Amino acid sequence: MAEKQLVELEEVAIRFTGDSGDGMQVTGGKFSESTMLAGNDLSTLPDYPAEIRAPAGTLAGVSGFQIHFASRNVHTPADQPDVLVAFNPAALKTNIADLRPGGTLIVNQDAFKKRALARAEYEENPLPELHDRFNVVELPLTQLNRKALEDIDLGSRDIDRCKNFFVLGIMYWMYSRDLEPTQRWLRGRFRGEVREANLLALEAGHAYGETTELLPSSYQVPAAKIPPGTYRNITGNTAFAWGIVAAGVQMDRQVFLGAYPITPASDILHEVARYGHFGIKTMQAEDEIAACSAAIGAAFAGSLAVTCTSGPGLALKQEAINLAVMAELPLVIVDIQRGGPSTGMPTKVEQGDLPMALYGRNSDSPMPVIAASSPGDCFHTIFEAFRWAVKYMTPVIVLSDSYLANGTEPWLIPDIESLPRVSIPPPPEPENFQPYRRDAKTLARPWAVPGTPGLEHRIGGLSTEENTGNVSYDPDNNERMMHLRDQKVAGIVADIPPLEVVGNEQGELLIVGWGSTRGAITSAVEAARADGLDVSRVHLRHINPFPANLGEILGNFRHILVPEINLGHLPRLLRAEFLVPAEVMSKTQGKPFKVGEIRQRIDEILSPEDDS
C-alpha cells in the first residue's frame, strides 16, 4: 500500500449531487453533522428539485447539497465547490460548470452507461474530456458497494441504495472525520438488514478510501475559533419553530399557530405541531385567509398568535392582516419568500416580498417588518417580533427566504436565562375601561380578552373612534387615528439598537443588505477590505421602522450599493426615505449571491476608472 499523505487545509467546499432518489440530502446532512462535531465553522445549501418524483436520472431530478467548512469563520456555502461528487451523468451535467477549475470531481463510473447518458442528454461520455480541467476520480461505486455488501440478505435495489453511505465513508476518510456520530444515527434510524447494510457500506467506504491508490491524500481542516458554548445544527425553519415555542414559554401564554401548507414554509407548521405538550395549538386551515383569520381570532381571545406562509399565501392574508392593523391585535406573520412572481420557482430563493410586506394592504396600514439574516438568527428574530406584537399591540411581519429556511449553520444555543422574560401587561380595570385608550408611551391599546368580566367591547374593521373604539365616520377622528397608528409603529424605533457599521464609519462605499444576503456580503466586504478597499457594510434586521441612525450612516458614504435577490426594492425605499443615491445590485436566478459577484461589483465601483 502506497504511503498516503495528510494535507492541512484552511477551508473546503464540497457539493454532493445525484438523483432525488440517491439520498443526497441525508449524505450532506450527515457530513455537516460530523463536520460540526469536528469543530469547523460551516455553512450549507441544500438544493432540491421542485418536482417530488421527477423521472429517475433526468436533469429535472437532480438533488444537491453543498457544504463549506473551514478553520476560520464561514459566512456562505461558497461560490464554487472544491469537490464535486456526482452520482450520475445528470448530476454531473447540471453541476460541473460550478466546480472550481482544478477541483476534484468524484463520479460513480458505473452510472455512466449508455442509457443514463441519454437520460442526461449526453451524446457521449463526458468524463474523458474532463480530465484536462479537473482532478477526476472515477470510482466503480456501484460495484464496490455491491461487493462490500455481498453477504447482506437484501435485493440488489436495496443494496444499491446504500451506496451513498459508501461514498460518505470515503469522504469521511478523505476529511479525517469520525464515523461514530453517523453510525449512532444509523443504528437509531434503521433496523435489521437495512441497518447492517448501511453501517457496512459506511465502513467499507472508509476502508476503501484508506487503501485505494486513486485517492493519494486525505485532508485535515483544523477546528475553527468559535465563541465558547454549546452548539447545534439548525435550519431557519426549525429556528422559527423553536422561537415560537420560546415566546410562549417566556411570555407564559398559550401559542396558536394557523397555517396552510406551502413550500418553503410548511416545515414550521410541521415542527410546531409536535409541541402540544408546550400548550401550543396548531391548526391546518382550509386556506391562508382562514389560517390568518383564525390566528387573529386566537389573538383576540388572548393567545400569542402566529401564522406562517410564503409569498402567494401572504398575498391572500393581506386583507385579514389589515384588519389586525385596524383592530390593533398582536399577531406575528412569517413569510418565507420564494421565487416568483405567481407560483414562480417554489423551492428557490428570492427576496421579493418586501414591498408586499410594507405596502400590500389597502390604505395606510403601518406594520413593523423585520428580517432574519441567518438560520440561527430566525430564532431571535421571531422572538423579537412577538415582543413587539404584544408590547405595541400590532401585527408584525417577519421575512425569511427559502435559502435561510433550509440552510443550516452551527448555532450557539442560547441560555434560557439570557432570553428576555416578557411580562404582558395585566388586563385593565373595568372601571372606565376603554378599548382604544392608549398607553402614553407605546401608544398601545389594552389587550382586553373575552372571558374577562367588565371589559366587554366590540372591535372591527370600520373606522374607529379614539378611546371608545366605537364605529365613527367623523373626518377628524379618522385622520387622528390614521396618525396614531402610524406614530405607534414609528415609535418602535425606541426599541431598536443603533445600527453598527462594519468597517469605516464614512468613506467611499457602503453596502446595505437585509435578510439572507448577509453571508455573501460579509465575505465580499471582508475580502475587499483585506485588499485595502474603502468599503463598509450595514445589515438591516429592522426595515420598518428603520434604525434611528440609518439616515446619518447613509449620508457618510459616497456610494451606496444594495445587493438584493429581486429587481431592487430596498434601494427605492432608501432613496425615498433619505434622498440618497442607493444603487441596485440585482439577481433573480433563484440562487443566492456569490461572494465573487459582490466582490466584482465592489471593484467596479471603487476602480479608478469609475472615479475619472
Partner 1 sequence: MATPAAQLTRKDFTSNQTVRWCPGCGDYSILANIQRIMPELGMSPEKVVFVSGIGCSSRFPYYMDTYGFHTIHGRAPAFATGIKASNPDLSVWVVTGDGDGLAIGGNHLLHIIRRNVDVNILLFNNRVYGLTKGQYSPTSRIGMKTKSTPLGSIDHPIDPLSFALGAAATFVARTVDVDAEHMRYVFRRAQEHRGTSFIEILQNCPVFNDEEWDELEDKKQRIDAGLRLQHGQPLVTGSEGRRRGIRIDSGVPAVIDLGDGSDISTADIAVHNEHHHSPAYAFALASMARPNFPLPLGVFRAVESPTYDGMLEQQMEQAMELRGAGNLRNLLHTGETWTVK
Q: Name the site residues for partner 1 (rule: CB under 8 A).
A: 33, 36-37, 39, 181, 226-233, 242, 245-246, 249, 254, 256, 258, 275-279, 281, 283, 285-287, 289-291, 293-303, 305, 319-320, 323, 327, 413-414, 416, 450-462, 470-471
Report d(CA 7, CA 176) in Å as an integer.
Answer: 10
Q: Rank residues 36 and 396 by Cβ distance to partner 1 and give the closer one.
A: 36
Q: How far is the CB of 300 from partner 1 (least distance, A)?
A: 6
Q: How far is the CB of 4 from partner 1 (least distance, A)?
A: 28
Q: Rank residues 122 and 278 by Cβ distance to partner 1 and give the closer one.
A: 278
138: helix, strand or coil: strand
DSSP 467: B
DSSP 494: G
Residue 467 pairs in a beta bridge with 436
Q: How far is the CB of 131 from partner 1 (least distance, A)?
A: 39
Q: Rank residues 413 and 576 by Cβ distance to partner 1 and give the closer one.
A: 413
Q: How far is the CB of 281 from partner 1 (least distance, A)?
A: 6
Q: How far is the CB of 387 from partner 1 (least distance, A)?
A: 16
Q: Are the C-beta atoms of residues 377 and 239 closer than 8 Å to each other?
A: yes
Amino acid at 450: P
Q: Rank residues 81 and 258 by Cβ distance to partner 1 and give the closer one.
A: 258
Q: Rank residues 113 and 225 by Cβ distance to partner 1 and give the closer one.
A: 225
Q: How far is the CB of 604 from partner 1 (least distance, A)?
A: 39
Q: Rank residues 301 and 576 by Cβ distance to partner 1 and give the closer one.
A: 301
Ordered DSSP codes for 403-446? HHHH-EEEEEPPPGGGSPP-PPPPPPPSTT--TBPPPTTT-PPP
Q: Rank residues 414 and 551 by Cβ distance to partner 1 and give the closer one.
A: 414
Report d(CA 50, CA 278) in Å as an integer.
Answer: 33
> CA nearest 545: which of 494, 609, 595?
494
> CA nearest 65: which of 3, 23, 119?
23
Amino acid at 2: A
Q: How far is the CB of 274 from partner 1 (least distance, A)?
A: 9
Q: How far is the CB of 393 from partner 1 (least distance, A)?
A: 15
Q: Are the C-beta atoms of residues 540 and 513 closer than 8 Å to each other?
A: yes
Q: Rank residues 192 and 453 by Cβ distance to partner 1 and give the closer one.
A: 453
Report d(CA 261, CA 270) in Å as an integer.
Answer: 9
Phi/psi at 275 (nearest 5 deg)? Answer: -110, 40
Q: Rank residues 184 and 483 by Cβ distance to partner 1 and give the closer one.
A: 184
Q: How far is the CB of 230 from partner 1 (least distance, A)?
A: 5
Q: Rank residues 381 and 517 by Cβ distance to partner 1 and give the closer one.
A: 381
CA dihedral sign, ordered 314, 588, 69, 4:
positive
Q: How far is the CB of 560 from partner 1 (least distance, A)?
A: 37
Give the strand order in the sheet containing 280-284: 280-284, 255-259, 304-309, 331-337, 395-401, 369-371, 542-544
Q: Rank residues 302 and 547 by Cβ distance to partner 1 and give the closer one.
A: 302
Report d(CA 25, CA 448) in Å as an integer.
Answer: 47
What are the cell numbers at 116? Answer: 443514463
Report d(CA 257, CA 141) in Å as an integer.
Answer: 46
Q: At what angle do helices 163-174 and 24-37 cross, to 10 degrees?
A: 30
Residue 108 pairs in a beta bridge with 139
Q: How far is the CB of 256 from partner 1 (least distance, A)?
A: 6
Amino acid at 151: D
Report d(CA 272, CA 295) in Å as an integer.
Answer: 14
Contacts of 458 (CB under 8 A, 6+ apart): 469
CA dihedral sign, ordered 381, 382, 385, 390:
negative
Q: How far is the CB of 457 from partner 1 (least distance, A)?
A: 7
273: helix, strand or coil: coil
What are the cell numbers at 462? Answer: 370600520
Q: Rank residues 103 and 395 by Cβ distance to partner 1 and give the closer one.
A: 395
Report d(CA 190, CA 199) in Å as an integer.
Answer: 10
Q: Rank residues 50 and 226 by Cβ distance to partner 1 and give the closer one.
A: 226
Q: How would you classify the pairing of strands 62-70 and 11-19? A: antiparallel
Q: How far is the CB of 132 from partner 1 (least distance, A)?
A: 41
Q: Rank residues 460 and 581 by Cβ distance to partner 1 and give the closer one.
A: 460
Phi/psi at 527 (nearest 5 deg)? Answer: -65, -45
Q: Rank residues 212 and 452 by Cβ distance to partner 1 and give the closer one.
A: 452
Q: How far is the CB of 241 from partner 1 (least distance, A)?
A: 10
Q: How far is the CB of 295 from partner 1 (least distance, A)?
A: 6
Within its chain, how far is the Cα of 91 from the centroid?
24
Q: What is the 3-state secondary structure (H, E, C) of 323-365?
A: HHHHHCCCEEEEEEECECCCCCECCCCCCCCHHHHHHCCCCCC
Q: Are the C-beta atoms of residues 516 and 400 closer than 8 Å to each other?
A: yes
